[in-house]
Structure 1
Amino acid sequence: MSCSVSYPFTLCANRMESGRRIYSPDEYILDAKWLIDPNHLFVGPKIGEGAHAKVYEGKCKNQTVAIKIIHKGETPEDIAKREAQFAREVEMLSRVQHNNLVKFIGACKEPVMVIVTELLWGGTLRKYLLNMRPGCLDRSVAVGFALDIARAMECLHSHGIIHRDLKPAFGCAENLLMTADHKTVKLADFGLAREESLTEMMTAETGTYRWMAPELYSTVTLRQGEKKHYNHKVDAYSFAIVLWELLHNKMPFEGMSNLQAAYAAAFKNVRPSAEDLPEELATIITSCWQEDPNARPNFSQIIQMLLKYLYTNSLSEPSVPPRIFMSENIVLPPDSPGTRSLMPVRDDTGDTPKAMMEDKPKGFFLCFNQCY
């Protein structure tokens, strides 16, 4: 059997296409650099669940991590699709590292498919916003969070990757997470990400409609799953909705179901109102959610517009954090060791303080191999 090498996998014949690279449903070998021995994994409480994966707090050696366990599926077709998605996600995570992307630690394929990443104390951006309601973020803070997201997206796009599912946490898709001090937002979950070179192969099976660009769906694609061409500008649209949400701390398209919001955006060109915002912010948002994808700015332009607003605002409001103006758009080295930040253990009453985590018995985390 002939083989070709595409970091971090060795890929073999009988292949399945996914994005630019071709992933084999039958055999692929993780690069040893990223391979995690299951004996070093200990599984703690579940912190999220979706249709095809569960996420647990866990430990890898002495590091507290997030352990994403992907269901293999029941049919051969499902198994092949999940393995290809797993290969794609690990490949993207391993080669694209950035200060505003959740750090990749490693993965393993047996006994089940597992992706291990850093685990953050700050929880999800959505939970942070919900706890603030009916209040709102200070505008400079909201724009600072938006800048974190834009920098992460600029990094992805510079590698030809479209995220397609940019939004605050919804169900298991915890796409926007926060550091312990609640000062920095990091982008996570590459499960729906695609490489841009084969966008004509993409379909409308993406994230939540409320945040999705209109070109990702239509009544035909929703009904028939028709393949549809689009490009990286779908992420600019989603970013506009997220920025609007950060500034208003309200659900976009409030009062509408997801499908009603999708129909209104795609066929009536309806958008949330930005009339109450300063002109500079309204311009950023409305330019990003324009109906014509080609008229939307790229993330390098978005970053410059956000920085200009913050700089102008800082002249009258010196409370704008100095870190905002520092260049954080640094791609981390491929062998970055990840982080030792922790997330509090959860129970039915909410988050448990970090100090209590240290008092837990050593048997609190179950050996991964005992579970699987």
Structure 2
Amino acid sequence: GHGNQLCTRFDSLAGRGPPSLTRRVLLARPEALMGHLPDVYNLQRRNPTPDIFRAQPGVVEPNHFANNTKMAARDASGIDGSSPSSSATSTTYPKPRQIMWDELTNVSLINHGSGTSVFSAMLGGVAVAVKAPKHGLSAVHVAEVTDELKHESHILARLRHPNIIRFFGCGSVLVGDAHNIFFIVVELLGGGTLSDMTKPTSARPGLNSYCEILDHALSLARALEYLHQAADPTLMTIHRDLKPDNIGFDQAGNLKLFDFGLAAQVPREVEEYPDDEVGTGGGGRRLPRYRLTGQTGSVRYMAPEVALNQPYNEMVDTYSFSMVLWEMLHKRKPFAGMNVDTHRQVVCRDGVRPEIDNSRPRDLTELFTRTWHQDLDHRPNFSSIVQQIEGMLHEASSEKAASATMRPNGRGGSFRGRLGSMFGSRKKDGASTWF
């Protein structure tokens, strides 16, 4: 049955059949291999007990992305179920646990990534997603992807937030005689990704009004505020790969940040400074810079200091957030048509940013100019961003209500009302009416 698909994707690793042929069949028609699946009950299981859940002091990065100074450090024990610092925005979930492969039912392939395959499944009556190394990889590449998945498990095991994907646990399954395949289990997001919504031709609801866009931006900012300032009392988590492809929605439309394979953890700074001092992110802390791996993430959303291999800190997520927000508003990619070399020169060195026209509200323009500032010391932290977006959303919602009340057609006497029905209509290019 379908419950056996994940394991049998790795048959070529055990020497069963030509990998190149099998890979071509998989990519063209995954179900074509169903007649060649071995009996699921012949698979052996190992107790996974992956050493991934206890944080070590210092900088933590995925090992195979770390630089030659070996700054990455990761250790393990079994799942300890530790919870993050108490926070007004934290969420209580059951503790992550070891998961045996035969607990998963109705396993079905969703898609292939660059190094992983993602499957849907049922775990105790709950729909989940299963992520594992992709079939057809070399033994070295499988080891690297496994290392990244264990790193992601290490990060996710400590996160409890309504806007961050839920982590159920992890496990491993022995395929063939010697290949122990590691997998992680997270919640299944049935509402698609933000990337689906931002396509110019997309008819999916969710970004059709300014208020909806601000609402999603607020959810994302709260998730990042939690990562940076509340998830762990001693370590700060930097996502480092913030982009629409890594932002999804559940069936109820709730935004969820996922894919922590490139995330890094750094020691939390405790030295206090005045809130308005440059270099504190507006949070009263002098923010150190770390020599983490450069050129990490996707280029068009990557902060200049990352692209240029300079020391950086959590403010790289702030820059990426600004690019995601710009794409939400315009329904097109920032810096479309630029190659990597042009982007490095024009955006990273010369400081060019996407166009901001004069029709936008002043507070929104200010938010962009602060969050994508060339100097990371001048970017705000996410507590400041959350407060600003909350104020913008309150104002926009109030003006929307006032505009609708003053005139039946919604074009009331307020300044924003006179701009037209900007809270629901769209331009021909799919962008929200203001933009």
TM (norm. structure 1) is 0.71
Which stretch shows the higher mean deviation, 199-208 or 150-159?
199-208
Q: Which amino acid in structure 2 is aligned with residue 266 of structure 1?
A: C
Q: Distance in 1 between matches of 2:55 and 2:362?
A: 51
For residue 243 of structure 1, give the secondary structure of its aligned residue in structure 2: helix
Q: Distance in 1 between matches of 2:78 and 2:323?
A: 39
Measured at CA, do residues 200 and 297 of structure 1 come closer, stay the same or move farther in structure 2, by a change above 3 Å? Answer: closer
Q: Distance in 2 between matches of 1:134 and 1:36?
A: 35
Measured at CA, do residues 82 and 254 of structure 1 come closer, stay the same or move farther in structure 2, by a change above 3 Å? Answer: closer
**Which residue, out of 262, 265, 269, partners 1:192?**
262
Q: Distance in 2 between matches of 1:98 and 1:157?
A: 12
Q: How does 1:147-162 map to 2 (within 5 A)?
A: 147-158=218-229, 159=232, 160-162=236-238
| Residue 380 of structure 2 is aligned to residue 297 of structure 1 | yes
| Residue 395 of structure 2 is aligned to residue 312 of structure 1 | yes
Q: Which amino acid in structure 2 is aligned with residue 67 of structure 1?
A: V
Q: 1:216 maps to what in 2?
A: 306
Contact 1:137 1:247 in 2 (8 A): no
The structural deviation recorded for 1:261 is: 3.0
Q: CA RMSD of the aligned region, Å?
A: 3.2
Q: 1:22 maps to what in 2?
A: 73
Contact 1:67 1:115 in 2 (8 A): yes
Contact 1:162 1:194 in 2 (8 A): yes
The structural deviation recorded for 1:271 is: 0.5
Q: 1:64 maps to what in 2?
A: 127
Report Cα offsets for 1:215-237 as digits up to 9, x if no partner: 0022xx5xxxxxx4210000000
Measured at CA, do residues 46 and 71 of structure 1 come closer, stay the same or move farther in structure 2, by a change above 3 Å? Answer: closer
Report Cα offsets for 1:35-76 as digits up to 9, x if no partner: 001111236332232222111112223221111113596456
The structural deviation recorded for 1:146 is: 0.5
**Which residue, out of 197, 202, 216, partners 2:292?**
202
Q: 1:8 maps to what in 2?
A: 53
The structural deviation recorded for 1:17 is: 8.2
**Which residue, out of 179, 192, 195, partners 1:123?**
192
Measured at CA, do residues 10 and 194 of structure 1 come closer, stay the same or move farther in structure 2, by a change above 3 Å? Answer: closer
Q: Kindly name which structure, 1 or 2, has the bigger radius of gyration based on alpha carbons.
A: 2
TM (norm. structure 2) is 0.61
Q: Which amino acid in structure 2 is aligned with residue 156 of structure 1?
A: L
| Residue 316 of structure 2 is aligned to residue 234 of structure 1 | yes
Q: How does 1:341-360 map to 2 (within 5 A)?
A: none
Q: 2:336 maps to what in 1?
A: 254
Q: Distance in 1 between matches of 2:164 and 2:204?
A: 29
Q: Which amino acid in structure 2 is aligned with residue 292 of structure 1?
A: D
Measured at CA, do residues 89 and 134 of structure 1 come closer, stay the same or move farther in structure 2, by a change above 3 Å? Answer: closer
Q: How does 1:16-165 map to 2 (within 5 A)?
A: 22-23=73-74, 29-31=78-80, 33-42=96-105, 44-70=107-133, 74=138, 81-111=144-174, 112-130=181-199, 131-132=201-202, 137-158=208-229, 159=232, 160-165=236-241
User: Which structure exhibits the higher relative contact order, with contacts defined as CA atoms closer than 8 Å and separated by 6 or more residues?
Assistant: 1
Q: Distance in 2 between matches of 1:205 and 1:52?
A: 18
| Residue 347 of structure 2 is aligned to residue 265 of structure 1 | yes
Q: Distance in 2 between matches of 1:126 and 1:273?
A: 20
For residue 306 of structure 1, give the secondary structure of its aligned residue in structure 2: helix
Q: Distance in 2 between matches of 1:211 and 1:17?
A: 20
The structural deviation recorded for 1:295 is: 0.3
Contact 1:71 1:113 in 2 (8 A): no
Q: Distance in 1 between matches of 2:325 and 2:121?
A: 32
Q: Distance in 2 between matches of 1:270 and 1:303?
A: 25
Contact 2:240 2:316 in 1 (8 A): yes
Q: Unpaired runs of 5+ in structure 1?
A: 170-174, 222-227, 321-372
